[in-house]
Amino acid sequence: MESIVYIFIALIAVFLLKPILPARGVRQITAAQLKNELRIKGKQFIDVRTAGEYKSRSIRQFKNIPLHELAENTSLLSKEEEVIVICASGMRSNKASKLLRKLGYKRITNVKGGMNAWRG
């Protein structure tokens, strides 16, 4: 009986932690590392925050595709080029990274800390 309780607790922990764990196969970078990435050609920069958040503060190279619209707008992205994803804190961009992986994108980078960590 005791082992069933441990299994149940482990399943609950996995269920609660899965959304915040980094997406498997997705490169994670800091906002400081992003500054170097912005200089490299052949990359796609996607900001998955809402349009209002994007208008109030954004990074010039990033195109705004809100997370809730991403699945319908992947035709705007090339699977051949790396996709670098940012949001406010890194949570939505992590979800976007997982979605892009499921849709067959191979080179995805998530900006940890998002715009909250950006000091551009």
Give me the active site residues, please: 87
Look-up of token digits 């200089």? 39
Question: What is the DSSP secondary structure assignment for residue 82, as one 8-state letter?
Answer: E
How far is the CA of 88 from the CAs of 15, 17, 54, 112, in angstroms?
23, 19, 9, 9
Question: What is the DSSP secondary structure assignment for residue 62, as one 8-state letter?
Answer: P
**Among 48, 50, 29, 41, CA closest to 118:** 29
**Among 98, 110, 91, CA closest to 30:** 110
Token duo for residue 50:
């809402």
